[in-house]
Chain A
């Protein structure tokens, strides 16, 4: 499968105080190809997370469309949008683990509604945990983990279904250099199976990338292509 994601005239604005709207993304036109690492950088508050969330179907654009394989997925109705999200693996900046669940249960979460047996979900989740070297923490509650461990759990949760589209928002923010490199390698590994991988991160990481990437900079609502 050779997929790509295209943003067509994409704008997102939020209503702020005194019912004034604040434009976050302004008329963005870009295509993210499959099989390559796509890196989006930009200052804090530039709208990197919003762009990822909009592409992943977590929020609706104010105008414009997100097109996947010639389908405007951002305009799909509820049930279809739910199906679109199933194809996407999302890593949140704040991890968003379910704190009352164990690490293993958090990773099992995307597999539960897919109709597999519990043992299948369990074995697949354990495999994902081993990939991020957290197997020994499987039975711990998510709220007892450190920041880096939480991020690793969130990465394992996003990759457990082997999605075609991966949206990672600051996936290594709380990790040391070694762990950060390992996790980026894991994401690079996904490009090998022709997935669309889009990572929002700080510019400082660009020098430490383990492979080639398409880099973009988001600033003042506009997305500019930096370099390959």
Chain B
């Protein structure tokens, strides 16, 4: 078993969040089953009062989940490695957890944040209007979240319980074992760097244009939102792959060190935080931008508010994308200007 005060903080935050979610579940179930907004009878008024309580509990659970997720990433990238012999960054920590365990942990945490973010946006939208027209939909969404929160908590415990602090890991071997030949190292999924760079440029331009179009458009454009979602879904993996396999070389100043976690280290100026932070913002806001108008289409007033929120989401995506591009690409451009060649020749 692996022990660290930070792990204690992460698990405590997750438990409190789960308790809050469970406490709100019963009211959410009642709300989902018996919500009658046109009626002013005692059951409906009682549900309205209790739904407000669930909203507060849910918000507290949301911020606790965000807090625990940030601590988890901070711990994996910068803190836990020092307790595991041979681990130099998050790769070593993940290796110590077992690759499957760490992947599951990150997936569950991501899924939980995604669902909670959507619920939080819906709840915010709901509270903007005096009639709270989205209460029943948010209640249904709320009912899904505790299940994922349980899985996340269980996986956090299982992953860290699996670490044997005295058993050394070989951090770099994990990174370098990904390829056996130099040709292999220069390709991603069998396709060369040139293909991925081209794909990244095309998709970045497309995403940027669509985000700007959605940000400036005064009318509803569901088609563009759909296209934006597709491009976002393509851009995120392509951006991650090109970052780790191509652009990271200019941060590390070493070729073929395809490590996604070393970017978080202080020796690389902690660039992983803004870079992955930008990817997180684009992912979350992209999801919100696509889902929110679909879930809030019952009422014209709330739909308009949802569209306003979509414009803000497009705005955030634009800024996050610019931040990502600047931080990811700038070292490569500086290298090219300084040495006259690209690192890969």
Contact = CB atoms under 8 A, between A and B. Distances in A.
Interface of A: 8-9, 11, 13, 60-65, 71-72, 75-80
Nearest to B43: A63
B130 A71 contact: yes
Contact of B42 (A62, A76, A79): A62
Interface stretch (B45-53, B76-84, B196-204): B45-53
Interface of B: 40-42, 45, 48-49, 52, 55, 127, 130-132
Given A63-B40, A63-B45, A80-B130, 9 more contacts: A8-B40, A13-B42, A61-B40, A63-B42, A64-B40, A75-B48, A77-B52, A78-B52, A79-B127
A176 B55 CA distance: 49
B181 to A, nearest CB: 62
Nearest to B51: A77
Interface SS of chain B: helix, strand, loop or mixed?
A: helix
Contacts of B52: 77-78
Contacts of B42: 11, 13, 62-63
Contacts of A9: 40
A63 B46 CA distance: 9
28 contacts: A8-B40, A9-B40, A11-B42, A13-B42, A60-B45, A61-B40, A62-B45, A63-B40, A63-B41, A63-B45, A64-B40, A65-B40, A71-B130, A72-B40, A75-B40, A75-B48, A75-B130, A75-B131, A76-B130, A77-B48, A77-B52, A77-B55, A77-B127, A77-B130, A77-B132, A78-B52, A79-B127, A80-B130
Nearest to B126: A77
A118 B132 CA distance: 36
B207 to A, nearest CB: 35
A21 to B, nearest CB: 9
A133 B41 CA distance: 46
Contacts of A13: 42
A61 B132 contact: no
Contacts of A80: 130
Nearest to A65: B40
A183 B39 CA distance: 41
Contacts of B48: 75, 77
B26 to A, nearest CB: 19
A11 B127 CA distance: 25
Contacts of B45: 60-63, 75
B51 to A, nearest CB: 8
Contacts of B55: 77
Contacts of A8: 40
A117 B45 CA distance: 39
Contacts of B132: 77
A60 B49 contact: yes
B28 to A, nearest CB: 16
A3 B282 CA distance: 47
B44 to A, nearest CB: 8
Contacts of A64: 40
A41 B122 CA distance: 45
Contacts of A77: 48, 52, 55, 127, 130, 132
Nearest to A73: B130
Contacts of A76: 130
Nearest to B39: A63
Contacts of B41: 63
